[in-house]
Structure 1
Amino acid sequence: MKPLDPRLLKRARGARVFLLASVLIGVLSGVLIIVQAVLLAHGIAGVVLRGSGVTAVAWGLAAVVAGRALLVWAQEVVAQRAAAAVKSTLRRQVLEHSLKLGPVWLSGERSSALTTLLTKGLDDLDPYFARYLPQLILAATVPAGVIGWMATGDLIAAGTVLITLPLIPIFMALIGWVTQARSRQRQHALAVLAHHFADVVSGLTTLKLFGRAKSQESAVRRVTDQHRAASMGSLRLAFLSSFALELLASLSVALVAVGVGLRLVDGKLGLETALMVLILAPEAYLPLRQVGMQFHASADGVAASEEVFRVLETPLPVRGERTDVPDLRVNPLYLYDVTVTYPGRDVPALEGFDLELRPGEVVALTGPSGAGKSTALAVLLGFVAPERGVVVAAGSAADEFDPAEWRRQFAWVPQRPGLRLGTVADNVRLGRPDASDDEVRLALLAAGAADLPLDKAVGEQGQQLSGGQQRRVALARALLTDAPVLLLDEPTAGLDPETEARVITALRSTGRTVLMVAHRPTLIAAADRTITVEPAAPRELVNA
């Protein structure tokens, strides 16, 4: 675990400004610490040896204490603002990068884990910026100044501090290796808890219907206990490491004090110099001790930032720049020898797939579940980059074009349509915000959803609508767009025969190119052509 990840400086401008301000504050703090020690030693020695007054010294100390308090306040303000700026920047970058990676990358457990990372995970950066980094800056500036000033009065004491001081960061590094693993375990446990809880809540209705809601209590409790155990393990390690660092620093200061006392008794050292050295010695170790203490408070934030950078460093699909996308109303679309294998899987999701899609025709993709039909649609949309093969239109590969311009040629209805908070009309207009109410009604009629009022409220993830209604709203949204190609993944699933017939009539009457994943015989019979997608064979069998 690096004390300061250079990727933070690269990706977050707020971190760079904060670092410069912290260096300045650290230098000023070191100067004030030395001035305070000199004033205290001079005042005490003056009273003991000369019986002089302490008024001037007291005013000087008051000014130094006020200055140190002001610097502490400035450091806190700068740190909080930097943390807010960095979190905002990283959240925006992760969201933008995730959108570019596409819905296939976000599928599965990633969506809930990403939600946890962008909320609770990045909030853990507050201790990192507010406590750990300021102490790290002080640890890099204050000890050097203190040792240098001590050397002007007592070279032996300065040498003792210089020799014993590196022991603290060495122990911190050893502890850090263990802490890093524990923090990652805790972050993983939190992601598992978030995903499991979200999964249970989303399926609560089904669990209640089948009388399985109670059985999930033990599962939630087990996952929660795993997170609790990981958190307590991190705390236990923090307490033990803090004790070790405190003990090491205390023994080092005691070693300096013993040497100073012996030289003072022998007359080799004056009282004022001895007092100054004794006051400064703990100040040399204090920043490193504080770094060790705050290191564990910031470990979760560092682990979260590593997850953020893992997302940001995920390679994007090849992005072209051409904007002269061919009009698919008049140009056929081809897939040549397309093969896709998802990360972590040995069997290709789609292998050696060829397709010709002529303008205006309706084509049905059939085949067993898992054969790669939905993957073929994802390849056409540019959500998945094939490891072999190419998508071609008008003699040009699809990856030569700007992805946003390329996707304007398609309207897509996935198996689980995404509906946003608003009304039915808001969701249908998503593809054409300028559409009139009459156009929205016609689209709903064509999709078999004429019974849905335009102002009917729609909740998050389509709440307030049944599964069939959600699919019909999504289909109406696709029909309302001007896209020349409709990509439909089981568009009539959950619809009754009468509504299905109406939807099929609407699809054929659009005059647009339609590529649909189909299982129902009525839908397959309505297609101009049917293409069967065969599952890929395991590669070890192919190579045998």
Structure 2
Amino acid sequence: MKPLDPRLLRYARSTRAYLAVTVLLGVATAGLIVAQATLLADGITAVFLHGAGLRELRGTLLGLAAVVAARAALAWAQEVASARSAAAAKSELRRRLFAHVAALGPRGATGAFATLVTRGLDALDAYFARYLPQLVLAALVPAIVLARLLGADLVATVTIALTLPLIPVFMALVGRHTEAANRRQFRLLQRLSHHFLDVVAGLGTLKLFGRAKAQVVTIRRISAEQRRLTMRTLRTAFLSSLVLELLATLSVALVAVGIGLRLVSGHLDLATALLVLILAPEAYLPLRQVGANYHASAEGLAAAEEAFAVLDTPVPPAGERTVTAGRIVFDDVEVTYPERAEAALRLSAVIEPGEVVALTGPSGCGKSTALAVLLGLATPARGAVRVAGVPLAELDPAAWRRQVAWVPQRPQLFAASIRANVALGAGTTDAEVRRALAQAGAAAFVEALPDGLDTVLSDDGAGLSAGQRQRIALARAFLRDTPVVLLDEPTANLDAATAADVLAAIRRLASGRTVLIAAHRPELIAVADRVVDLARTPAGAR
């Protein structure tokens, strides 16, 4: 079981002020606990030994009422502070995660990442609202209670001091197992979310090839595994709480037996005995609650570990040089991924300015990876890419990408107007957008829509056909008017008539530009001036 992770202070600086407030509130709460116990002991002693009435107890009762009201106010202040701190910390972590993943590139944005920044970080509420405040109380309350009891009863103080460390020891032993179980459970949830997102994204293709039911079986299996692991984690949490409760109860009983024996023998007065009996459970209570609240915050801690792992992932170094697009050279380039035993790409090739080159080969040979390398989204493990004689690693990524238009196999469309989807934030006129749509062969179907350019699309362009989405993506490339164009299987999943329209638009787009096409359809390969077969072009060969 970990106390406060220092990386939380580094990545969520708002936590520092919250910790200071929590310590101050914890000191005040501990002082009020001692004051309440003292007032109760004095009041009960006055009633039983001196027969005091309400008039004599007025001051004690007023003091008790003030202490109870103050403890309630402190509890409310703690809830408010923890809620605001949790919201600020989650917001700061999310901003940092999004910025870091954007710098890492699209490979970091997965279903697992979506689970992390939503449900995962939301679980930090229990960490801030319950675990951290209780952790502070667990450090302050026993120390203040022991300091108060030291002058009242040395034997009870020593007994409590000797038994208190047993709870953190057992807590650490149990917490280590619980932490590992929660980490496994959260990672399985991430895997389930990632797989489900992939299935939803490719549901149309799965249904087309009759593979949708097979994915239902896979999701059911992973869901059952996640359910079993969750129940196992809950069982561990309940049993560990029982262990801590039993240990604390036995420790309090040990103190109470000693108090009772000495009280009967006359070696201890009633007021002191009552003070010890009231304060002893208060010394153990914060430690017991730390264990219980740790289980409530364990998922948040597991999510925080995942967030820190993402934030600690180094961003590939970016250059600062700028260059005008020219000859592109893949010099003995090799790209590897941790999840693959073999290299994802091996390529040596030269693309001259104005040349249209088709990259061909079977699925998995590295066609899309070659485009990702040019975009700076994948880093070669060996070799280098040079643009106009300058290594790509030395170029300013933003400046280089302004010279490149990229049309992926499945373009991303946003819940915005067609005008906004084509312009993508560029300050362009309607005439320029319409000209780009006409060049892409999309003007006819856009004008036929009820609102034309102002037609608002659904998320991911739902309602448009695959060919219409592809032509809007080509319109973006026409509008950007860049010297380099990258096309990733632009006619995949299109019927023959639609593919012919897209091919006509690609021929217009390729005129006077350097074009690199990842292709496997013969009619798309025919557009190219030259073909590079990645299956037959190992690194080191032109």
Alignment TM-score, normalising by the size of structure 1: 0.92
- The answer as to 2:356 corresponding to 1:356 is no
1:289 Cα deviation from its structure 2 partner = 0.7
Cα RMSD for the two superposed structures: 2.2
Q: Deviations over 1:410-451 (max 9, x none)?
A: 111112211111232221111x62222222222122222222
CA distance in 1, matches of 2:521, 2:223: 43
Q: Deviations over 1:12-54 (max 9, x none)?
A: 0121111111111111111111111111112222223333421
Query: Tell me, what secondary structure is at the counterpart of 2:296?
Result: helix
Question: Is contact 1:373–1:517 with CA below 8 Å preserved after alignment?
Answer: yes
CA distance in 2, matches of 1:196, 1:528: 39
1:406 Cα deviation from its structure 2 partner = 2.2
CA distance in 1, matches of 2:523, 2:274: 95
Instruction: Output the amino acid matched with 2:40.
Output: L
CA distance in 1, matches of 2:78, 2:527: 70
| Structure 1 residues not aligned, in runs of 5+ | 539-544
- The answer as to 2:455 corresponding to 1:461 is no
CA distance in 2, matches of 1:44, 1:482: 88
Instruction: Output the amino acid matched with 2:520.
Output: H
Taking a change above 3 Å as real, the CA distance of residues 6 and 365 of structure 1, as seen in their structure-2 partners, is: same
CA distance in 2, matches of 1:354, 1:58: 88
Larger mean CA deviation between 159-168 and 406-415 belongs to 406-415
The equivalent residue for 1:16 is 16
Q: Deviations over 1:314-370 (max 9, x none)?
A: 2211222x1x41111xx323221111011121210112x223233222222223322
CA distance in 1, matches of 2:489, 2:223: 38
**Percent of residue pairs bearing the same amino acid type:** 56
Query: Tell me, what secondary structure is at the counterpart of 2:362?
Result: coil
Question: Is contact 1:371–1:536 with CA below 8 Å preserved after alignment?
Answer: no
The equivalent residue for 2:28 is 28
Alignment TM-score, normalising by the size of structure 2: 0.92
1:460 Cα deviation from its structure 2 partner = 1.4
Q: Deviations over 1:153-184 (max 9, x none)?
A: 11111110000001101111111111112112
1:81 Cα deviation from its structure 2 partner = 0.7
The equivalent residue for 1:193 is 192
The equivalent residue for 1:170 is 169
1:144 Cα deviation from its structure 2 partner = 0.6
The equivalent residue for 2:330 is 335
CA distance in 2, matches of 1:187, 1:27: 35
Instruction: Output the amino acid matched with 1:190.
Output: L
The equivalent residue for 1:541 is none
Query: Tell me, what secondary structure is at the counterpart of 1:88?
Result: helix
CA distance in 1, matches of 2:357, 2:50: 103
The equivalent residue for 2:4 is 4
The equivalent residue for 1:290 is 289
The equivalent residue for 2:411 is 417
Taking a change above 3 Å as real, the CA distance of residues 209 and 396 of structure 1, as seen in their structure-2 partners, is: closer
Instruction: Output the amino acid matched with 1:506.
Output: R
Query: Tell me, what secondary structure is at the counterpart of 2:444?
Result: coil
The equivalent residue for 2:86 is 83
- The answer as to 2:341 corresponding to 1:346 is yes
CA distance in 2, matches of 1:518, 1:207: 21
Q: Deviations over 1:228-253 (max 9, x none)?
A: 22222222112111111111111101
Instruction: Output the amino acid matched with 1:325.
Output: T
Aligned residue-pair number: 527
1:126 Cα deviation from its structure 2 partner = 1.0
Instruction: Output the amino acid matched with 1:54.
Output: L
Taking a change above 3 Å as real, the CA distance of residues 426 and 316 of structure 1, as seen in their structure-2 partners, is: same
CA distance in 2, matches of 1:302, 1:416: 36
CA distance in 1, matches of 2:339, 2:399: 31
Query: Tell me, what secondary structure is at the counterpart of 2:515?
Result: strand
Taking a change above 3 Å as real, the CA distance of residues 457 and 535 of structure 1, as seen in their structure-2 partners, is: farther
Taking a change above 3 Å as real, the CA distance of residues 256 and 444 of structure 1, as seen in their structure-2 partners, is: same
- The answer as to 2:524 corresponding to 1:523 is yes
- The answer as to 2:373 corresponding to 1:379 is yes
The equivalent residue for 1:44 is 44
1:216-227 correspondence to structure 2 within 5 Å: 218-227=217-226
CA distance in 1, matches of 2:68, 2:97: 43
1:211 Cα deviation from its structure 2 partner = 6.4
The equivalent residue for 1:401 is 395
Instruction: Output the amino acid matched with 1:35.
Output: A
1:458 Cα deviation from its structure 2 partner = 2.2
Larger mean CA deviation between 305-314 and 19-28 belongs to 305-314
CA distance in 1, matches of 2:330, 2:213: 49
CA distance in 2, matches of 1:370, 1:500: 24
Instruction: Output the amino acid matched with 1:74.
Output: A
